[in-house]
Amino acid sequence: MILATGVSHAYSGVDVLRDAALTAAHGEVIGLIGPNGSGKTTLLRTLYRALTPDQGTIRVDGVSIDSVRPRELARALAVVVQEPAGELPLSVTDTVMLGRIPHLGTWQRQSQRDIDIAAEALDQVGAEHLVDRDFGDLSGGEKQRVLIARALAQQATHLLMDEPTNHLDIHFQHEILALVRQLGVTTVVVLHDLNLAARYCDGLVLLDRGEVVTSGTIDDVLQPTVLEPVYGIRMQRLVAEDGCPQLLFRSLREPHPQTHTHGSREHVEARVR
């Protein structure tokens, strides 16, 4: 379980996160959504101690992360960042093996079990064919899958992901998020695609301008009346055959279909769809 309460943070005196709260129960997938600059990544970074909040507390399974040693924290929290700070000259296999470091002693070498876990992680993300490649030579989507494999190899009880579908095509967007749901670990994930959030998250936290606007179930949060003032775009909510809500979007600059005067009604409806 991850519990964050009253989390605030400022950069150079400018508040970017104010009194934010988040609860991710055991096995839940909680999505952080909101416009650019709303504070999603800042909140996520405080959860794994990459940022120290100016105020507030963060607990993982009831223990404050401030009291946990780095190796112990790495066993509890696996992280997939949006963009790596730098690229080491490593092979794909060596990159994924970094996920096993929290489970090794200071001078302990990797075992066959560690190698098998890394290989399975690559297989889970559909990247087993990349084992002999250099990480730096991969495409953006391939790199993203390898970084997710590294997090899976870590076998942590909690998973934090900052836009894990970035650079991925539609197939792997759904494959990766479906895999995350099947893992059964407590997950907090930053997502821009609200329809992906609707399909793969158990609950959502909506942020805007550094504050939590609302949080709750998919049905509670993914409502046009809630989202339109935050995103500044018209929305229509539909329900798929399997009961999953899906959203259609239309710019505020686009004429409303009822008042459109050019073309047939069928043409207008086609444009809206």
Taking only the tens place, the pLDDT of each residue in 92-124 is: 999 999 999 998 877 778 899 999 999 999 999
**Containing structural domain, residue 177:** 2-223
pTM greater than the 0.85 cutoff: yes
Count of structural domains, the chain:
2
Compute the distance between CA of residue 93 and CA of residue 273 in angstroms, rounded to an integer. 44
Q: What's the rounded mean pLDDT across residues 167-172?
A: 90
Task: Assess whether 192 and 249 both reside in one domain.
Answer: no
Task: Assess whether 47 and 137 both reside in one domain.
Answer: yes
**Res 140: pLDDT:** 85
Task: Assess whether 245 and 158 both reside in one domain.
Answer: no
**Res 267: pLDDT:** 44
> Over 60: is that where the pLDDT of 261 sits?
no
Task: Assess whether 149 and 254 both reside in one domain.
Answer: no
Task: Assess whether 204 and 242 both reside in one domain.
Answer: no
- 48 token code pair: 């794994």
**Res 87: pLDDT:** 64
Taking only the tens place, the pLDDT of each residue in 189-234 is: 999 999 999 999 999 999 999 999 999 999 999 999 999 999 999 9
For 254, the 3-state DSSP assignment is: coil
For 76, the 3-state DSSP assignment is: helix
Asked if residue 228 is part of any domain, the answer here is no
CATH of the domain at 134: 3.40.50.300
Q: What's the rounded mean pLDDT across residues 4-9?
A: 97
For 185, the 3-state DSSP assignment is: coil
The 3-state secondary structure of 227-239, one letter per residue = HHHHHCCEEEEEE
**Res 154: pLDDT:** 94
Mean residue pLDDT across the chain: 89
**Res 78: pLDDT:** 94
**Res 85: pLDDT:** 52
Residue 34 pairs in a beta bridge with none
99 phi/psi in degrees, rounded to 5: -65, -15
Q: Confidence class of residue 88 from pLDDT cuts 50, 70 and 90?
A: low
Task: Assess whether 123 and 255 both reside in one domain.
Answer: no
Asked if residue 216 is part of any domain, the answer here is yes
Q: Confidence class of residue 257 from pLDDT cuts 50, 70 and 90?
A: low
> Bigger pLDDT: 272 or 179?
179
**Res 161: pLDDT:** 94
Task: Assess whether 72 and 202 both reside in one domain.
Answer: yes
Task: Assess whether 34 and 130 both reside in one domain.
Answer: yes
Task: Assess whether 128 and 244 both reside in one domain.
Answer: no
CB contact set of 69 (below 8 Å; sequence gap of 6+):
none
> Over 70: is that where the pLDDT of 179 sits?
yes
Asked if residue 37 is part of any domain, the answer here is yes
Residue of 125, 202, 130, 192 lying closest to 163 (CA atoms): 192
Taking only the tens place, the pLDDT of each residue in 64-81 is: 999 999 999 999 999 998
Question: How much of the chain, in percent, has pLDDT values that exceed 70?
Answer: 91
Task: Assess whether 153 and 84 both reside in one domain.
Answer: yes
Task: Assess whether 206 and 273 both reside in one domain.
Answer: no
Asked if residue 9 is part of any domain, the answer here is yes
Task: Assess whether 124 and 187 both reside in one domain.
Answer: yes
Asked if residue 36 is part of any domain, the answer here is yes
**Res 167: pLDDT:** 85
